[in-house]
Every structure is written in structure tokens, then in C-alpha cells.
A and B are shown apart, each in its own frame.
Chain A
Amino acid sequence: EAQVTQNPRYLITVTGKKLTVTCSQNMNHEYMSWYRQDPGLGLRQIYYSMNVEVTDKGDVPEGYKVSRKEKRNFPLILESPSPNQTSLYFCATGSGRAYNEQFFGPGTRLTVL
């Protein structure tokens, strides 16, 4: 079954404690992206990757890092989380010329105290 998996699905943490949210896909998609969703603001793109070892900033990259060492995985790293990073995070993937037709993961709800 084609899917995008995110872990953890829920996380409560404290300010400054480094964390990683993983994203994994089994569809061999080249394009992967991270978004955050906040009430009243829709989804905002954090980082994206066109392929292995290629990453670029989205609209709101501050406070986040990503890596793309292998095609199937695209982890989102918060080196020093702050309360304003409390949000619902989605990973998305896309393939080939139609990479804009993205498949979204189930989401990770992060709370930073």
C-alpha cells in the first residue's frame, strides 16, 4: 500500500530539547516537503527536497533543519524548539513531472511547553 508515514504522531516536549520528526515514503517519490498548519493560517511550507541531497527553504524555514540522505526519508529537525513551533506538521511527497500533486502524511501534532 502506497503511504507516507510520520513519527511520532503526537509529541509534547519542552523548550530547547532537540527533536526529530521522521517522514518515510514507499512510493519512490523524488519530491518531499514539510508543512506546518496553524489555525487561521492554512499550511505553510517549511522545507522541500527535489531529490536526494537536494534541499531548499520554503516559506517558513527558521528554526528547522532537514536532511535527505536517502530517497525514502526526509526528517524534520528542531534543534532548539520554542513554543511558537507548536503546530501540526505534515510531510508530503510527489513524483516526477507531477510532483506538485502531493500525497500528504497523517500529520504530527507537536506541543512545545
Chain B
Amino acid sequence: GQQLNQSPQSMFIQEGEDVSMNCTSSSIFNTWLWYKQDPGEGPVLLIALYKAGELTSNGRLTAQFGITRKDSFLNISASIPSDVGIYFCAGQIGNQFYFGTGTSLTVIP
């Protein structure tokens, strides 16, 4: 299957700091998506990106679809304690979806 390299694997930050994480692949994707997963729950969609170069925001979250179609990044500004969780990128090829291995975010109050 397709490999999505997500980094960093984990982050420990102070409340109020900005966060950046990214996903790269050797494959070209039609769509990039970012999800957040809280403990004991299923992933929840944060942002969907459909066009190369697209930059989309959702509140304090901003994500971009890389112009090569092989990468994407997610930024979180002014982190708060409820941002804690695991963040996954996902790429779409045809009707199939491939997920990164996740970035575990810890926010220290």
C-alpha cells in the first residue's frame, strides 16, 4: 500500500504555543485530509483539501495541500488543552484512503 510519512511522531508543547506537523509521500494524492482522534473514540475530520496549493483554515487550524500533491501540513495556532490527541493525515487515490501513522500532541497547561 501507499506510505504516508507523518512527522513528528509526538510533540509536547506549552499551552499557547503554535504547532506544525506534516505528511509526505512518494505518491500523488487527489485529496488530503486531516483527522483528530481522542482516546477511545473514532477519528473526527478537521480539514479536507482538494486542490494542489490549497490553503484552508478551520478556526485555529490551517492546512495546506502541497503543490507537488505529495505532501500536506497542518498548523495549530495558540494551542489549548483540548487540542490534546492524535492527529492523522490521510490521502486519497481513487476511492481508497491511506493514513499516516499519527502525531501525538500533548499540551502542557
Contacts and interface: CB of A to CB of B under 8 A. Distances in A.
Given A59-B98, A90-B43, A43 B88 contact: yes
Contacts of A103: 45
Contacts of A31: 95
Contacts of A104: 35, 42-44
A102 B31 CA distance: 13
Contact of A42 (B31, B95, B100): B100
Interface residues of B, number: 25
Contacts of B43: 43, 90, 104
Interface string B41-66: 11111001000000000000000000
A4 B42 CA distance: 10
Interface in A55-113: 56, 58-60, 90, 92, 98, 100-107
A37 B95 CA distance: 19
Interface of A is mostly: strand
A62 B28 CA distance: 25
Contact of B96 (A40, A58, A92, A101): A58
Nearest to A58: B96
A59 B92 contact: no
Contacts of B98: 45, 59
Interface of A: 4, 31, 33, 35, 40-45, 48, 50, 56, 58-60, 90, 92, 98, 100-107
Interface of B: 1-2, 4, 6, 31, 33, 35, 40-45, 48, 88, 90, 92, 95-102
